[in-house]
């Protein structure tokens, strides 16, 4: 989790010229792709993974951990305001929140269905 947060911070510290402009080839072959939302998909994906990495070890504190991830996204967006050629973007933060909330929902549903229960062996 900490390493992933460092990776996100590393990407946030880059200027817009240093970041990839085009999505990976597999995304480009999707019919009708315009490229204008690649940034939001990236934010969603980064924070979805952060949510999964953060929530799985702390199942009992899902709301606190999710809130922490969302706050980290806000701090990350605010940090970008001070980077040349970058800016605070509310829609980026909304994509961060959507990624964390999606991870939360998946973890919640898996937990509710006893996916994380330790198996018991009967002899």
- The more confidently predicted of residues 96 and 34 is 96
Q: How large is the average pLDDT for residues 45-74?
A: 89
Which of 5, 1, 2, 26 minimizes the C-alpha distance to 73? 5
Q: What count of residues does the chain have?
A: 123
pLDDT of residue 25: 53
Collapse the DSSP code of 66 into the 3-class scheme (helix H, G, I; strand E, B; otherwise coil) and give the result. helix
Enter the tokens of residue 74: 């806000």
Q: How large is the average pLDDT for residues 83-100?
A: 92
pLDDT surpasses 60 at 30: no
Contact criterion met (CB below 8 Å) for 59 and 107: yes
pLDDT surpasses 80 at 33: no
pLDDT of residue 112: 83
Q: How large is the average pLDDT for residues 60-88?
A: 90
The span from the CA of 31 to the CA of 66, in Å, is 34
The span from the CA of 78 to the CA of 96, in Å, is 13
pLDDT of residue 58: 81
């Amino acid at each position: 989790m900490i390493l992933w947060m460092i990776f996100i911070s590393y990407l946030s510290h880059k200027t817009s010229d240093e970041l990839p402009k085009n999505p990976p080839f597999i995304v480009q072959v999707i019919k009708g792709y315009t490229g204008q939302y690649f940034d939001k998909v990236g934010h969603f994906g980064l924070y979805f993974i952060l949510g999964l990495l953060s929530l799985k070890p702390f199942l009992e504190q899902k709301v606190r951990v999710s809130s922490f991830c969302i706050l980290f996204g806000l701090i990350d967006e605010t940090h970008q305001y001070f980077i040349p050629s970058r800016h605070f973007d509310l829609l980026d933060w909304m994509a961060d929140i959507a990624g964390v909330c999606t991870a939360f929902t998946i973890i919640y549903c898996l937990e509710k269905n006893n996916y994380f229960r330790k198996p018991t062996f009967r002899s």
